[in-house]
Amino acid sequence: MAGGEGTRLRPLTSLRPKPMVPIVNRPIMEHIVGLCHWHGIDDIVATLQFTPQVIQDYFGDGDEWGVRLEYAVEDTPMGTAGSVKNAAKLLDGGPFIVISGDALTDIDLKEVMAAHVAKGAAVTIALKHVPDPLEFGVVITDPEGRVERFLEKPTWGQVFSDTINTGIYVIEPEVLERIPDKGRFDFSADLFPLLMRQGLPLYGHVCEGYWTDIGSLQSYIQAHWDILDGKVGVHVPGVQAGKNVWIGEGTDLDPDAEICEKVVIGANAQIRAGAKVGPYAVIGDSCLIGAETTVERSIVWSDSFIGAGATVGGAVVCRRVDVRARARVESGAVLGDDSYVGQGAAIGSDVTVFPYKRIEAGAVQTTSLIWESRGARSLFGAEGVSGLTGVDITPELALRLAQAFASTMPAGGHVVLSRDQSRSARMLKRAMASGLNSAAVNVRDLRVASSAVNRFTTRDSRAVGGIHISVAANDPQTTEIHFYDKAGLDIPVSQEKRIERLYFRQEFRRAFFDQIGEIIFPPRALEYYAAGMLDALGVIDAREWVRVPEPRTPRLKAVVEMSYGVASIVAPQVSAGWGIDLIALQPFLDAERSGPPASGVEKDIAETSEAVTTFRADFGIVLDAAGQRVVLVSPDGTALDGDTALHAMVDLFCSSCDSPTVAVPLAASGIVETIAARYNASVVRCGRSNRAMSLAALSDDVGFVGDRNGGFMFSAFLAAFDAVMTLGMVARLLADTGRRLDDVVASLPAHHLRETTVACPSSLKGAVMREVAESAEGLEVQMTEGIRVVGDGGWALVLPDSQDPVVQIFAEGEDDAASQRLLERYAKLVGAVARGEGSPGESPVARDVLK
């Protein structure tokens, strides 16, 4: 499989396909061809798509490597399985092995083939335990090795094991009949699920050899160090001249040069007097390393020149690069093909210089000449694109991000754009409007509005997407940029990845003078939003969930803290027709107060509680500055914690509905099911991400979705968190039932949910999840997000954090003591594996802790 473009490895792959990137001075694919030949596989077909001629010219018919090599070229990408089907005419009709041409491995292929025959499998997948399984397909097998579940490139919440798919398959020929002749068709996403549904024997075989996907600059460099440390059984060209030192034919080493341990020097290279090479250095063919030059922990490709007195430390220098005398290249820097670094210039840490770029003499280059990120996961996070304003989130980033988003949209389309009241959001919105227009997309500018108004307008207008910019809750220094699809939902991960690729590669659509987008100010967006909300609150039985009673007298009285946020321009207008008396606190915009720190939130809650008792209100509600989440306050002035508020809302909603269905995250207390059972209601468990909960809200019969942090969705109106709608719905439900909020709270069963976090390196999160899954044998295991184990009178959820090096653990038993014991048991299990107490799966603590 040699069709990879390798966009994440740019600029290493700017001028060549990924399989041709050199590892110890030989293309990755050459190491794979050698591995096949070593195991007696001499008939090889290479599937090509991106710049196929480069590979064909290098390998020819394969005679030089002792193999017969043929090629199957795709005109358009056909997917992994589709490319193999495209090569079917070149196969001999018997079983065959599929292997990636851009991964480094020394796995015993004969062992995999023997396991395939022994099991009588239709397909056998070579599996491997890895520290970080996020970028791979996680595979779960039964004790006999039969594949039970397969998940391609999961999030941490979906990592149920550290056993991953290496992309090495042994396949019986009849499997090809299930691959269509045309269209894109992948092994992981399409073929393997199809085989499992049809009941064909799909097996996994765990291999002990070395395997790594060369998918990032870090993995590329680490592969070299692993070879130099003797961890990989690959052929290193040259003559071994010392401890892990290889010297190529025709290379000239000056007697005064210092060659350290763990060094590879290619053929026909020259190392001048006083030069120091290594430790951990790979020098390509025909390179010249000048006098008094230092090259350590670096990879230098062929035909490059490093001048006298220069220093290259921890860098990658591509082909035909010219580094002049006394220049300095720092750790993490990458110099693309044919680039030039002038005399005495300095290239700073982590700077990327793309091909053909020129750094003048004496210059200090501290930023990349073409912006590039070192990781595909560095742009989007749990809260969209977020970071410190002016440091991580800049106008330049906002401009390019908008261009990338617009490039995924049809030219001439409309995108709804809004912001909160902060000055940082105002600055960034202007940059994003320019970016959208420059990529031939029109902007429907809502100016200052809540995210809910943006989602509503996006969903109910001809817009194809939306963008909302706001400061983060509780941190005014952090800005969040959220992207919405046509339905007003957070965009899916697949679109996030597409935006990232376009952003990193700067491949934006450009608008000519007559294609530049317009900026339009929708005149009645807030009126339409208010009308839609009033309709949802007044005739909410349109979806047969809530009975509409006669208006209740006297009118409800509510104290509403608006936190100087966007809700202050929405709530007074939309609540005019609700029939409640609204006592508003801080009901105006204040850019200086956007996103108050935690102490400010606590002060707002205290003031709201006091106002509720003073005015003898039926309830109080604190709306966050973003207009999404709330804190509920009962008539006696008690501020409800997130769990109690969720339980109260479930009780209120279910008591007003005819056999409703509500959805809550996996980490919510089991009390939710107890409450729902009072009213013959159903409960659906979903993931914790905004999109997962929004999709649950769109499911048939689901009328309410709530989380443990004051976020509530009402499907009759909008599948998104909306603090103003929550205000209206609380009033509607209290009026409907004639109940008081404190009476609802008093009727709730006690809950015993406990939670904690355990420090865990990201490299061991996969091992933790595998250990938890294996330790739960005989119990009910749910793998919607993380691993939720149900049994013995309680449940526990183990969930790796998506960003921080910790694992979150939730547990609930029959009482507080039982919950605490369950929590401690799983914390002990996770901690044992996280501390590396024995090999994964073999730790005595991990093995015995759940007994």
**Spatial separation of the C-alpha atoms in residues 242 and 22, rounded to whole Å:** 23
**Over 130-144, what HEC string results?**
CCCCCCCEEEEECCC
Helix (H) or strand (E) holding 163: strand 163-171
Q: What percent of the chain has pLDDT over 70?
A: 92
Q: Measuring CA to CA, which residue among 130, 41, 152 is closest to residue 92?
A: 41
Confidence of residue 30 (pLDDT cuts 50, 70, 90): very high
Of the candidate ranges 294-298, 531-535, 550-554, the one whose mean pLDDT is the lowest:
550-554
- Tokens representing 26 are 């030989």
DSSP string, 479-501: EEEEEE-TTSSBPPHHHHHHHHH
Q: Measuring CA to CA, which residue among 318, 226, 245 is closest to residue 20?
A: 318
In sequence order, what are the residues at sequence separation of 6 or more whose Cβ sits closer than 8 angstroms to the Cβ of residue 620? Answer: 558, 559, 560, 561, 608, 609, 611, 612, 632, 633, 634, 637
Please list the alpha-helical segments (H only) found in 340-442: 395-407, 423-438
Average pLDDT (481-487) is 95
Residue 133 pLDDT > 70, yes or no?
A: no
The rounded mean pLDDT for the chain is 86
pLDDT of 785: 83
Residue 722 pLDDT > 70, yes or no?
A: yes
Other CB atoms within a 10 A radius of the CB of residue 1 amount to 25
What are the φ/ψ torsions at residue 554 (nearest 5 degrees)? -70, 170
Amino acid (one-letter) located at 419 = R
Q: What percent of the chain has pLDDT over 90?
A: 47
- Tokens representing 521 are 């100010």
| Whole-number CA gyration radius for the chain | 30
Q: Measuring CA to CA, which residue among 382, 375, 369, 461 is closest to residue 418?
A: 461
Of the candidate ranges 176-180, 374-378, 468-472, 688-692, the one whose mean pLDDT is the lowest:
374-378
Average pLDDT (36-43) is 92
pLDDT of 160: 62
Confidence of residue 375 (pLDDT cuts 50, 70, 90): very low
Helix (H) or strand (E) holding 630: strand 630-633
Phi-psi region of 841 (alpha: psi -120 to 50; beta: other; left: phi over 0): left
Q: Measuring CA to CA, which residue among 620, 564, 571 is closest to residue 595?
A: 564
Strand bridging mode 22-23 / 26-27:
antiparallel
Over the stretch 621-635, which tens digit does the pLDDT of each residue have?
999 888 899 999 999
DSSP string, 708-754: TTS-EEETTTBSS--HHHHHHHHHHHHHHHT--HHHHHHTSPP---E
Confidence of residue 152 (pLDDT cuts 50, 70, 90): low
User: What single DSSP character describes residue 639?
Assistant: B
pLDDT of 156: 57
Start-to-end CA distance of the chain, whole Å, equals: 45
In sequence order, what are the residues at sequence separation of 6 or more whose Cβ sits closer than 8 angstroms to the Cβ of residue 514? Answer: none
More confident residue, 291 or 659: 291
What are the φ/ψ torsions at residue 781 (nearest 5 degrees)? -120, 130
In sequence order, what are the residues at sequence separation of 6 or more whose Cβ sits closer than 8 angstroms to the Cβ of residue 565? Answer: 420, 421, 589, 594, 623, 624, 625, 626, 627
pLDDT of 98: 94
Residue 521 pLDDT > 90, yes or no?
A: yes
Average pLDDT (722-726) is 93
Question: Is the sign of the CA dihedral 376, 381, 386, 392 positive or negative?
Answer: negative
**Spatial separation of the C-alpha atoms in residues 29 and 1, rounded to whole Å:** 9
**0.75 exceeded by the pTM?**
no
Over the stretch 417-465, which tens digit does the pLDDT of each residue have?
999 988 999 999 999 999 999 999 999 999 999 999 999 999 999 999 9
Average pLDDT (587-614) is 74
pLDDT of 539: 41
Confidence of residue 602 (pLDDT cuts 50, 70, 90): confident
Average pLDDT (784-798) is 85
**Spatial separation of the C-alpha atoms in residues 268 and 286, rounded to whole Å:** 5
Q: Is the distance from CB of 309 to CB of 289 less than 8 angstroms?
A: no
- Which neighbouring-strand residues pair with 632? 621
**Spatial separation of the C-alpha atoms in residues 71 and 81, rounded to whole Å:** 16
Confidence of residue 364 (pLDDT cuts 50, 70, 90): confident
pLDDT of 618: 93
Confidence of residue 591 (pLDDT cuts 50, 70, 90): low
Residue 249 pLDDT > 70, yes or no?
A: yes
The sheet with strand 276-277 has its strands ordered as 258-259, 276-277, 294-296, 311-313, 328-329, 346-347, 364-365
